[in-house]
Amino acid sequence: MENLLYQCTDYKNIREIMNEINQKFSNDIAFTLKKKDENQKVTYQDITYKTFLKQINYLGTAYIDFGLKDSRIAIIGKNRYEWILNYIAVINGTGVVVPLDKSLPKEEIETSLIRAKVTSIICEKDYINDLKDMIKNGKTELKNIICMDDVSDDGVLLMSNFLKKGKELLEKKKDKRFVKAKIDNDKMATIIFTSGTTSASKAVMLSHRNIASVVYAINSAEKIYNTDTNFCILPFHHTFGSTGILFMMSNGSRNVFCDGLRHIQENIVEYGVSVFIAVPLLIESMDKKIWKAIEKQGKTKLVKRAMKISNFLMKLHIDIRKKLFKQIHEQLGGKLRFVVNGAAALDKNVAQDFYSWGFDVVQGYGLTETSPVLAGENIKKFRFGSIGFAMVNVDIKIDDPDENGIGELVATGPNVMLGYYEDEEATNKIIDVDADGKRWIHTGDLAYMDKDGFIFITGRKKNVIVLKNGKNVFPEELESVINKLPYVVESMVFGYPKEDDLVVSCKVVYDKEYFEKQLAFTDENSIKDHIWKDIKEINSGLSKYKYIKKLYISDEPMIKTSTAKIKRYQEIEKLLKNEAK
């Protein structure tokens, strides 16, 4: 079943995307920026695609003139106009871009810079002091700090000055080094860290072709218009965030930014948002708020009855959903029409709710390693609970299926990463090359296909804990730190199921003798308090989503295989049974 609804350009690199935007949407509004003065008075600034593309060229020209050609350049900060401006200015002819999670602790930022061999970083003003410390201690190769904000600091370069310099170089001196820069479609263009930045995490190398092929694939399945307003919620350092906005811009959408999680609904109304890409946590939170408002009005039975009627009429191709649920649409600004869910599975009932109310919500599926989209639904072909089917330029198969047709989902296509940076062994573990030279990537997800070709994910083959907000927590990463504690014999980090999410939890097997002789502890409560104190200390050096929130302790060895590997599923099952007693 081909996921092809619309004819569109099959891009080979990001410059081709920008060139087509320039031809089709030059005078359309690319971004609306909210400004607040010292009296908190709000004004709005519209930036056209013409201005946006000019500023990309100014920055790229100035960066090359400064000596940054072919450099590794990191970007860190919240979603904002300057972030995406710099991302394209770097990737489109300057150097290799390294997006970093804005919530990383100082130590993890430093480790990322070291591993990716970053020499320059573009950042917000809040990061300046930490970055200057890193330059001073000499552990990184960092030489230049470029600030998106105008600050007075002798050790910092300003983006605004690069814009001015680039304009002069390009318009007065006709410097064409950036605008004529040759793009190698298959060369590493970006390095993206999958989770954290310790030795257990992976640095994914993506090319222009990888990313551009996904923009083409999504365009062939989903329709965005230049009259749409896109809400940039998914962080740009996330592959779906950066690839997603390229997809939106390739259709001439207007793009706006969120004032913070508490202001999402308010911003959707404020800007007249019509489309966005999100993680399940946000969509499910919106669903809960809508139901709460319905319950408050005492209309729960009425709405449920109306949903049954509208769903029946939809089978007859009669669509009255927007009229029937006008009040719900008005709660969300009246213009919202289309939402793409990614990063983790959306609750089936939530998807059905939004469909019944007249919103198109489709599920996308992929990995950072696949730039990211492998499969997805579209508005004409969807099935609640599924991830849709392979994108137009992707082949998917179920490897080694069991009697129920469930096996590991493997895929091949132009979006499969170049590999893990400086880790050939890890690359070879996840990618197989067949006799025809096709590179098949093992996703680590167990799945099956129904008779119509829709794909359903049934679980994780690997141990990674996938949280509802789309974040991935790798147990081995945390276990390697916990196991360094002097009294730990072994540990196991896992996701404890709570409602429809997972709580990062840990079981520690401790050395009883150590506590008796070294600390004179004999009762389990004192031992657990001591371990908890150390776990909290470990948490303080982690990103918040990795925090261990539940602890189990024991002095009995865990269940193991004959090769001394912990049988995780049996251990977790045992813990859950004990918890239920």
pTM comes to 0.82
All residues at 6 or more sequence positions from 184 whose CB lies less than 8 Å from its CB, including other chains? 207, 208
Res. 187: pLDDT tops 90: yes
Segment 468-483 mean pLDDT: 84
CA-CA-CA-CA torsion sign (404, 458, 290, 373): negative
With cut-offs at 50, 70 and 90, classify the pLDDT of residue 196: very low
CB 12 within 8 A of CB 385: no
With cut-offs at 50, 70 and 90, classify the pLDDT of residue 294: very high
Check residue 200 and give its pLDDT: 58
Segment 352-368 mean pLDDT: 94
Between CA 12 and CA 343 the distance in angstroms is: 25
Residue type, 423: D
Between CA 117 and CA 128 the distance in angstroms is: 19
Class of CATH domain 14-209: alpha beta
Task: Tell me the pLDDT of the chain averaged across its residues.
Answer: 92
Res. 2: pLDDT tops 60: no
The domain locations on the chain are 14-209, 465-580
CB 61 within 8 A of CB 179: yes
In tens, the pLDDT along 13-43 reads 999 999 999 999 999 999 999 998 888 899 9
All residues at 6 or more sequence positions from 295 whose CB lies less than 8 Å from its CB, including other chains? none
DSSP result, 399-445: ES--TTS-EEEEEESTTS-SEETT-HHHHHHHEEE-TT--EEEEEEE
- Return the closest-CA partner of residue 238 out of 229, 230, 227, 246: 246
Segment 140-150 mean pLDDT: 98
Could you identify the residue written with the tokens 């400004």? Answer: 35
All residues at 6 or more sequence positions from 239 whose CB lies less than 8 Å from its CB, including other chains? 192, 204, 206, 368, 371, 372
With cut-offs at 50, 70 and 90, classify the pLDDT of residue 476: confident
| 208 CB-contact burial (10 Å; exposed 0-12 / middle 13-18 / buried 19+) | buried
Domain over 465-580 is classified CATH 1.10.1660.10: no
Check residue 562 and give its pLDDT: 40
List beta partners, residue 74: 98, 121
Buried b / exposed e over 244-260, threshold 16 CB at 10 Å, is bbbbbbbbbbbbbbbee
Between CA 249 and CA 48 the distance in angstroms is: 11
In tens, the pLDDT along 214-266 reads 999 999 999 999 999 999 999 999 999 999 999 999 999 999 999 988 899 99
- Return the closest-CA partner of residue 145 out of 133, 157, 160: 157
Res. 463: pLDDT tops 80: no
